Chains A and B, each alone.
Chain A
């Protein structure tokens, strides 16, 4: 964790503790609460700046950010291509693993909020639609409804490709 984010967290926590104690008194100590809010405010500013810098550092080093998301999606799409026409049981088994790995994409995409909520919302909306389609394909294969399974496997594949395009657009 960067120093800025750490300092932000410390100020935020200290402000919260002091503010809660001031507010707990009957009646509340409004002056104490205002001072605590000022400390919290400083902590919030530092924390948000630190988080943004952390995201950019991760993107530059290749351990996070848009490049990493692109890689994760690319791998999942490649693995899905291999099972689009594979026997149902193999597709089902492989889907189990792909779905677990897609969780990693979702987790690593969270910091993108800082770059803009609208863009983040759009990317996750398409990604989640694809994830749900793949979940449905998993269920259909497990229940023995192969036609439904293949239909939603393809939907999920198309949605992940659309997500990848949205991620690349963000990079551009």
Chain B
């Protein structure tokens, strides 16, 4: 990544951090990723954060082409690029559903931009006090943020760490590429998952398939101990609850064979898990209140002192961001919903409060495990919003997009701030560039969605938009009164109780394990086990020096390939 002609900094020069090169590169690369992932996401159903790829591109341009560039400057590049790109998931999960239902013309384009921009701003401003709590006080791991920091620090870490990083990247990228051979018209050599249950001749209803994803294994390898709770929760969900529920005869008689596991997951454990996530995070919020107060006081004091070393974004940004986003939500609800001022006010207040709770939840989940339960939270968001808006579907989906953009932005911002902490970036600088550029992403994603609609339509064989279709069924299901509210409440009580145990975030971790499919829990859990075994045998230093660079490489290699396949899809080379 480093270049032989790169000019080292001079002792008297100002340390390069926010520079025009960093901002322009971050915006351009972020816009490129946003457009590619919007298109690919609507066809293939996946998106990616892109921080790690942006960091690699940053090195290529800052040092390879411009012959200058520092670690913290590249931190700004990846912060901006991922901020611009991340809103894609919030948009493509929601807005295409309006097109599929033929309701998009009921909303003026300006409102699309206003509402999603409000989401982008809220997601970032809520992170201001949470940064201190989760990164500095709770010291959550944030595996992606840690992996990106490893990439950023590689040029200064010595040849051995760089070699390990590239080794991990190479293996992971190669395995992913070979797995995609059928998409490229070549024979399958490595499948995307293996069914261990079938190999071991276990009954059909035992779900023991494992995704062969080195990226997920790498996430576990970085996470370590916290991830073992997710693995234990997965075992509880799939190998204790499922057989007991089956043996007690609590399943409909027509549910047999492999459908048992799917039924229990969809109707029992997944809604329970969503409830636990919510209950656990609300308990976590209450228990963390003293720490959040310390964090807020410290930010407020730093703002007032006006010393030369003020590295926190002043608290007024938090108040201004919340006020602005609240007003945008209020205007949108009042103008579009014809709900009257009282109900519009209530919707805006509940909307802002819900975004705070949901942002806290995704930040905690990604901080502890790297998993982000966005689809589950969207279900709850849509449920709350449909009730608040008097079941007005277009307004609900638009506000759902606001929530989606906000929570995905919050999780991404926290990952970037973790990276910043590990490389010594100044948090207020990262937050400012993110506030200034995050609104660009929704505009790009919305524009691409509209272009795709005009060119191919949405919700057909060419552009299946799987996530939006899922949202449409969710809305239909809620409108039909088919929401497992009792499971949410029961799960919420259990999650709340677990978080009182003294093990930080236990309710959220167990909830997450019930929410995630076993397909991914298994490789992730294996990574966590490997981390703990190596740590006990070789010590913490070995983890930092050897394991971390390899794990970061495993994550980055597969992520780079997903971007490549997204671009190949956009270019029409492949069409799965």
Interface residues of A (CB under 8 A from B): 12, 16-17, 19-28, 30, 33, 37, 40-41, 43-44, 47-48, 51, 92, 100, 103-104, 106, 110, 113-114, 117-118, 120-122, 124-125, 128-129, 131-148, 152, 155
Contact = CB atoms under 8 A, between A and B. Distances in A.
Contact of B241 (A24, A92, A134): A24
B290 A133 contact: no
Contact of B421 (A103, A118, A135, A147): A135
Nearest to A43: B501
A147 B11 contact: yes
A152 B132 CA distance: 19
Given A26-B268, A121-B294, A20 B236 contact: yes
B486 interface: yes
A125 B133 CA distance: 8
B55 to A, nearest CB: 13
Contacts of A132: 136, 421, 424
A65 B53 CA distance: 41
Nearest to A134: B424
B424 A118 contact: no
A139 B544 contact: no
B85 interface: no
A123 to B, nearest CB: 9
Interface in B2-28: 8-16
Nearest to B7: A144
Given A21-B241, A142-B71, A136 B501 contact: no
B72 A118 contact: no
Contacts of A131: 421
A26 B70 contact: no
A51 B502 contact: yes
Contacts of B13: 145, 147
Interface in B341-380: none
B145 to A, nearest CB: 13
Contact of A104 (B155, B241, B540): B540
Nearest to B424: A136
A136 B156 contact: no
Interface stretch (B181-189, B389-397, B491-499, B553-561): B491-499
Nearest to A19: B494
B72 A125 contact: no
A113 B288 CA distance: 11
B137 A128 contact: yes
A47 B502 contact: yes
A30 B10 CA distance: 69
Contact of B236 (A17, A41, A48, A120): A17
B497 A40 contact: yes
13 contacts: A12-B498, A16-B236, A21-B245, A24-B241, A28-B486, A33-B493, A114-B502, A125-B136, A128-B137, A128-B139, A140-B424, A143-B156, A144-B9
Given A100-B544, A136-B425, A146 B494 contact: no
A136 B72 contact: yes
Contact of A146 (B11, B156, B423): B11
A35 B54 CA distance: 51
A113 B490 CA distance: 29
Given A124-B136, A136-B72, A152 B290 contact: no
B254 interface: no
B452 interface: no
Contact of B491 (A23, A51, A104, A134): A23
B240 interface: yes
Contacts of B135: 128
B540 A100 contact: yes
Contacts of A139: 70-72, 153, 156, 423-424
B345 to A, nearest CB: 34
Interface string B144-165: 0000000001011100000000
Contact of A155 (B295, B309, B493, B541): B309
A17 B240 contact: yes
A121 to B, nearest CB: 4
B486 A27 contact: yes
A125 B423 contact: no
A139 to B, nearest CB: 4
B110 interface: no
A17 to B, nearest CB: 6
B298 interface: yes
A125 B245 contact: no
A40 B495 CA distance: 11
A121 B241 contact: no
B429 to A, nearest CB: 11
Contacts of A24: 241, 245, 250, 264, 268-269, 272, 487
Given A143-B8, A144-B9, A100 B153 contact: no
Contact of A37 (B294, B426, B497): B497
B62 to A, nearest CB: 11
Given A16-B510, A118-B290, A125-B137, A135 B236 contact: no
B490 A28 contact: yes
Nearest to A106: B139
A142 B155 CA distance: 8
Nearest to A30: B490
B15 A125 contact: no
A28 to B, nearest CB: 5
Nearest to B152: A139
